[in-house]
Amino acid sequence: MTHPLDLTAKAIADGIRSGAFSAETVVGESIRRAKVVSQTLNPFAVIREEQALEAARQADLTVARGEATGPLHGVPFAAKDLTPTAGDLTTLGSWTRANWVPTETALCIRRLEAAGAILMGKTTTPEFAFSSFTNSPRWGVTRNPWNPERTSGGSSGGAGVAVATGVVPFAEGTDMGGSVRIPAAFCGVVGLKPSLGRIPMTILPSVFDNISHFGPLARSVADAVAFMETAAGGSDEDIASLPIGFDGSAAQTGGLEGKRFALSIDLGYYAIQPQVEAVIRQAVAEMRRAGAIVDEVAMGWTRAVNDEWFDLWCVFMSAFFGGELTDHRHHMDPSVVSMTERGLAMNATAYKRVELLRTSMWRDMARLFERYDALLCPTCAITAPPATETDDDHAATLPDGRFKGLDLTCPFNMLPQLPALSLPAGFAADGLPVGLQIVGRRFADEQVLSMAAAVEARLTAAGLNAPPMEAAGRSLER
């Protein structure tokens, strides 16, 4: 028998409303699982046991009194340690924040709570969310639920683990270069970078940044849709947010028959592990059997995409966190220090010229979208690497001219208006999950989710993508 916590988010809320089970039962099990997996995988900076259980009891009283409930009534979820939540220790994975306890909660989280969801914990992130490996000076290493010797990915690594191990049906993450999609791929869950502005980005010093996104990590596409239905929508708290709603029904309907996809295994320049390519091609074969048209295309991009994204990222770090070097350099991650110093030295004209490459990339994608509904590629070039490695181990040009990159995600932060989703595609020969990245037309989030749901159903029917709860079983037994 499954626990009510193992249902979709909407089914959990429906069960609580109907009296089939209590919010306290669901949240209590979420807390229990969080404590168990924390012993080996380290996905949480804070577990809000007392506050979450009290919120669950209040949710049950609301049902007992026959009062109105929200669409996520009683559903436990987790937020990233990067994201302020009132009354909770929020460190950004850094000692520079000492014991900061915010007095205000970020809008994204407020919306989830207003819909009835219950915040049960804060998940680990590398310092200032800078890395594809969740390993911070403050909280240490967060490990992969399929193999604890491997990384969970980053920077929303704790969120990926919390979802994959069944602690929550979805968790909030942030994505500036793949920080939702990378851990989603490595942990075997769904991860969405929504189009820029679909969810207001309110936690940065600037509301004019254009590579940063909130997004869900979720056990299923349906749970990602449930997150988006609540979190998306414009707000004056973010001038760049879009004044449009989110159509959940459109995100869950449709099939693959007649859909047209472009496939690029390497975006033109990545070195892709053969075991990753094999899983992607197997998933694509299932899509074709379901009636999709998938054509392999040549993208012709180069490592300059990653190098110039990195320039943007270093300037981001120096602009928002450069002031920390004077007093805190000695206990900051050395990579953060190096990136910050690189950003501080960046030439303003060179920084502006990155837009020329971004323009060229968009023109390539615009031509592609004249013929295709979406672009398919691996989310990451490899399965989860050892937790002892760093980003620097995956930033080299190989003798054959290929780029030894970890992820194929940051190119689509250069094109932030394009929604990009990582979907579990199956398992590689080493037993680790592989993510299929689906990149859609600008602002077509519902369409991308709809296509992902159809692919998910097909792969599940074919027995190719085991549910995240298999990872939960492994982790909860330890």
Q: How far apart are CA 57 and CA 64, in angstroms?
A: 11
Q: How far apart are CA 374 and CA 362, in angstroms?
A: 14
Judge whether 80 counts as a catalytic residue.
yes
Q: Where are the alpha helices (DSSP H) in 345-396?
A: 348-369
Query: Angle at the Cα of 472 (from 429 to 283), degrees rounded to 5?
Result: 40
Q: Which of 312, 334, 313 is nearest to 325 (CA)?
A: 334
Judge whether 155 counts as a catalytic residue.
yes
Judge whether 422 counts as a catalytic residue.
no
**CA distances, 3 to each of 14, 69, 146, 468 (Å):** 14, 22, 21, 14
Catalytic residue among 179, 195, 241, 318: 179
Q: Which of 158, 38, 45 is nearest to 97 (CA)?
A: 45
- Beta strands 420-427 and 433-440 are antiparallel
Q: How far apart are CA 187 and CA 151, in angstroms?
A: 9
Instruction: Provide the 10 A C-beta neighbour count for residue 370.
Output: 6
Catalytic residue among 30, 94, 152, 155: 155
**CA distances, 51 to each of 111, 258, 285, 434 (Å):** 18, 49, 47, 36
Q: Which of 162, 179, 178 is nearest to 170 (CA)?
A: 162
3-state secondary structure of 25: helix
304 contacts: CB under 8 Å, gap ≥ 6: 357
Q: Would you put residue 406 in left (φ > 0), alpha (ψ -120 to 50) or beta? A: alpha
- Beta strands 260-263 and 135-136 are unpaired
Catalytic residue among 10, 30, 80, 136: 80
246 contacts: CB under 8 Å, gap ≥ 6: 198, 228, 229, 232, 233, 445, 446
DSSP string across 176-209 = SSSTTHHHHHHHTSEEEEPPTTSS---SSS-S--
Q: Which residues are known to be catalytic?
A: 80, 155, 179
